[in-house]
C-alpha cells in the first residue's frame, strides 16, 4: 500500500518547517507541497531540501487552500503512483504513529476516505476540523446543531461513519480523489471547500470513517470566539451563499433558512471581536458578494 502526503502552504515558513519535519519522518512514498505563490523565503527553503520524495508545485497566484488542494490533486492524479493521499495544511503536524495505525485500519475496513482526530495546541479537539456524522441542512436542524452539536458530530474518541471531512487530516483513496477533482472549488479560496467537496462525495455514495486513533496537531490557538484576522469572516459568509451556485437545488448542503441563520450568528458574534467595525464590514461584504456570486480571493 502506497501513501503520499499533499500539503498546501502560503507564507508560513516556520510552520512549514515543522510540518516538513514531522511529515518527512514518516515513510510516505511521495510528499507533494503546493506553494501558493508565497512571497517570503518559502521557495528558496523548499529548493534547498534534498529528499527524492519531495515534489514542489509553485502556483502562479495565491488561490487559497481550495485552489492549492485542487492543484495538488490534479498533479497527483496525473503523475503520482499512490493508493492513498493524506491531505493537510502547512500548520498541521501528523502524529508519529499515523501511518502505522492507518495501515492497520485500511486492512480491516473498506472506506473511500478516513478523517483524523485533530487537536489544537492546547491538546483540545479542534472544532473547525470535526466532521459531520449528519448534516444540519435545514433551519430547524441548524438551530438544533447550535444548541446540541453532539447530535450531528461523532464523539471525540469513538469511531463513526461521517458524511463530511476536513482537509486537515483527510485520507482519501487516490482513485476517489482523481475522479472527483472538479468538486474542489477554487472559487471558494478558503472555508467550506472541504465540507462541500466531501458532502458532494457522500451524496454519490462514498463512505467516510472518523478514526480517532489517527491524529494530527493543528497549530492554531484554542477558539475564544474571535475570528482573526477579521477578513476571514468574509469567506465564511460569502461561501455559504455561494453554495447555492455550486450545488443543484436538490443537492445543496444548506437550505436558505439555514444559511440566513448561520450568517445572523456571525453578525451577532461581533461583540466578541477585537476589531468590531472591520469585522462587520467584512460580514456585509460577504453577504453582498455572495448574493452577486463574486468568487475567488477578495481581501
Name the CATH architecture for the domain at 3-218.
Alpha-Beta Complex (3.90)
What does the pLDDT read at residue 52?
97
What does the pLDDT read at residue 114?
98
**Intervals of the chain under pLDDT 50:** none
What does the pLDDT read at residue 227?
87
Q: What is the pLDDT of residues 234-265, one digit of tens each?
A: 999 999 999 999 999 989 999 999 999 999 99
- Taking a C-beta distance cutoff of 8 angstroms, is the pair 194, 163 a contact? no
Cβ-based neighbours of 224, under 8 Å, separated by 6 or more: 272
Quote the cell numbers at residue 221.
490557538
Q: How far apart are CA 147 and CA 129, in angstroms?
A: 19
**In the chain, what are the domain boundaries?**
3-218, 232-291
Task: Give pTM, 2 decimals.
Answer: 0.96
CA proximity to 65, closest of 165, 163, 185? 185
Specify the DSSP class assigned to residue 48.
T
What does the pLDDT read at residue 223?
66
Amino acid at each position: 500500500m502506497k501513501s503520499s502526503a499533499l500539503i498546501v502552504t502560503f507564507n508560513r515558513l516556520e510552520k512549514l518547517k515543522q510540518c516538513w519535519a514531522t511529515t518527512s519522518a514518516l515513510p510516505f512514498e511521495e510528499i507533494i507541497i503546493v506553494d501558493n505563490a508565497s512571497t517570503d523565503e518559502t521557495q528558496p527553503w523548499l529548493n534547498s531540501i534534498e529528499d527524492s520524495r519531495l515534489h514542489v508545485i509553485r502556483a502562479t497566484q495565491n488561490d487559497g487552500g481550495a485552489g492549492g488542494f485542487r492543484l495538488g490533486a490534479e498533479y497527483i492524479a496525473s503523475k503520482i503512483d499512490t493508493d492513498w493521499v493524506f491531505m493537510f495544511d502547512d500548520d498541521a503536524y501528523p502524529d508519529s504513529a499515523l501511518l502505522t495505525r492507518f495501515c492497520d485500519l485500511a486492512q480491516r475496513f473498506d472506506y473511500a476516505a478516513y478523517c483524523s482526530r485533530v487537536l489544537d495546541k492546547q491538546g483540545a479537539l479542534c472544532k473547525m476540523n470535526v466532521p459531520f456524522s449528519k448534516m444540519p441542512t435545514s433551519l430547524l436542524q441548524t438551530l438544533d446543531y447550535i444548541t446540541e452539536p453532539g447530535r450531528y458530530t461523532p464523539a471525540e474518541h469513538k469511531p463513526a461513519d461521517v458524511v463530511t471531512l476536513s482537509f486537515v487530516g483527510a485520507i482519501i483513496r487516490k482513485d476517489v480523489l482523481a475522479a472527483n477533482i472538479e468538486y474542489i472549488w477554487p472559487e471558494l479560496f478558503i472555508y467550506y471547500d472541504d465540507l462541500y467537496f466531501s458532502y458532494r462525495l457522500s451524496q454519490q455514495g462514498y463512505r467516510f470513517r472518523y478514526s480517532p486513533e489517527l491524529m494530527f496537531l493543528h497549530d492554531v490557538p484554542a477558539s475564544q470566539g474571535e475570528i482573526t484576522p477579521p477578513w476571514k469572516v468574509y469567506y465564511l459568509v460569502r461561501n455559504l451563499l455561494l453554495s447555492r451556485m455550486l450545488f443543484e437545488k436538490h443537492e445543496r448542503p444548506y437550505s436558505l433558512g439555514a444559511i440566513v441563520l448561520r450568517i445572523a450568528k456571525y453578525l451577532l458574534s461581533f461583540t466578541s471581536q477585537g476589531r468590531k467595525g472591520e469585522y462587520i464590514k467584512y460580514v456585509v461584504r460577504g453577504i453582498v458578494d455572495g448574493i452577486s456570486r463574486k468568487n475567488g480571493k477578495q481581501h
